[in-house]
Structure 1
Amino acid sequence: MRLVLLRHGQTPSNVAGALDTGPPGAELTDLGHRQAAAVVGALDGARVDAVYASDRVRTQLTAAPLAGERGLVVPVLPELGEVSAGDYEMRTDHAAVEAYLSCLGTWLDGDLDHRLPGGETGHAFLERFGAAVAAATADRADDATVVLVSHGAAIRTYAELRATGGGDAPERMRLDNTGAVVLDGDPAAGWRVASWTGTPLGGAHLRDGRAHDVTGDEPEE
């Protein structure tokens, strides 16, 4: 089975560098809509059996072009939501951003008990995201491909902690808007990283180098 963990398109919060992690969240920018539309061409010819999104507006808007082209509905799985920023929600200051990225790095280093004030532990995150993966893949054929439209920190954290392989420290790589991590395997036997595309699936020309993206950035040691 194949999972395509696709990050949503750009939002105003990404541009501003805001820790926008709660529902319903921001909509897409004009660039974000172009990024989402370009996913259709990027996956042209690839098998897609289902497309799911989190309960954040940006993931549902990102999923819509691909699902529409494939004649699929987009079930919403709230458990695919972003890693919570807790009390730092919507902050853009250096201290909050540093704390958020440091929390992710702490999880990746093995301390899943750590949490931000008002946030969730690594254990809680993995349990909920894993539940979404299990629901999306239940009763699928062994060769099925399922696209899960989720969020930068959530995708990178799950891929690093629940999948093997991936080359040189994929947990330290960026994941730009509409970048994707592809996992092969299944929930019972486990997952391995088949590919990690940090730039937008539609091409690097869709990357906004001026944005102060936070949740797509590398976790801090």
Structure 2
Amino acid sequence: MRLLLVRHGETPSNLHHLLDTAVPGPALTPLGQAQAAALPEALADEDIEALYASTLLRTRLTAAPLAAARGLEVIVRDGIREVSAGELEMLPGESAEGRVYMRTVFAWADGDTTPRIPGGESGEEALARYDAVVAEAAASGAGTVAMVSHGAAIRMWTAARADNVDVPFAAARPLANTGVVVLEGSPSDGWKALSWEGATVEPAGEPGPTGEPVDTAG
């Protein structure tokens, strides 16, 4: 299966770098609406057969123009929502407390899934719910699936599940609004990232860049 993980369009909380993860969350800014409207053209070469969005308003609004252009129903699933910030909700991501969020998320991606975000979920819980939606999409038989999700969740899941993406790679590459990560594979055979916001991802084993965990929830 070809899997397109798409971050939602811009929200007011993105402008202020806030850890905004609760349902239903904010709508899109005017720029976010324009980003969503541009998705059908940006993904014109992709033969998308199924389209998913999380339970947060911003992903459903981002998916709507693509759904209309392709004649697809938006399948809403809680499993691909943003990683819950718990007690850190609405704190600035650059604050000392806010940085705990991304450090914990990337620890999960690196295999230590037991830590829990204060008042939030564990890595086991976050990865399990995301895995379940991906497995559902794979079982549907669709050749290409797009999922409109969230920045931290996409980076966490990709670093944890793609054979050729490690934590330093994902940590050094915050996803822009409506940025896309393209993967290929299956739950049984594993996943390989093909591109990250349009840039080709090197095969597993190739030397890659490193970086510190950055960015905030989205």
Residues 1:95 and 2:82 aligned together: no
**Amino acid across the alignment from 1:43:** L
How far apart are 1:168 and its partner, in Å? 9.4
Distance across 1 between alignment mates of 2:166 and 2:83:
24
Distance across 1 between alignment mates of 2:75 and 2:166:
32
Q: What is residue 207 of structure 1 aligned with on the other side?
A: none
Residue pair 1:16, 1:213 contacting (<8 A) in 2 also: no
Task: Map 1:172-211; keep pairs closer than 5 Å.
Answer: 172=171, 173-197=173-197
Does 97-106 or 182-191 show the bigger shift?
97-106
Shift of the 22–198 alpha-carbon distance from structure 1 to 2, 3 Å rule, reads: farther
* Structure 1: gaps of 5 or more residues: 200-211, 217-221
Residues 1:145 and 2:178 aligned together: no
Q: What is residue 62 of structure 2 aligned with on the other side?
A: 62
* Structure 2: gaps of 5 or more residues: 200-213
Query: Which contiguous aligned blocks of 4+ residues in structure 1 show a shift greater than 3 angstroms?
Result: 166-169
* TM-score relative to the length of structure 2: 0.87
Q: What is residue 38 of structure 2 aligned with on the other side?
A: 38
Distance across 2 between alignment mates of 1:213 and 1:12:
15
Q: What is residue 122 of structure 1 aligned with on the other side?
A: 123
How far apart are 1:95 and its partner, in Å? 2.2
Q: Secondary structure at the residue paired with 2:52?
A: strand
| Equivalent pairs, count | 202
**Amino acid across the alignment from 1:145:** T
Percent identity of the aligned residues? 49
Distance across 1 between alignment mates of 2:71 and 2:111:
41
Residue pair 1:3, 1:145 contacting (<8 A) in 2 also: yes
How far apart are 1:135 and its partner, in Å? 1.4
Alpha-carbon RMSD? 2.0
Q: What is residue 217 of structure 2 aligned with on the other side?
A: 215
Residue pair 2:115, 2:122 contacting (<8 A) in 1 also: yes
Residue pair 1:14, 1:213 contacting (<8 A) in 2 also: no
Distance across 2 between alignment mates of 1:105 and 1:46:
29
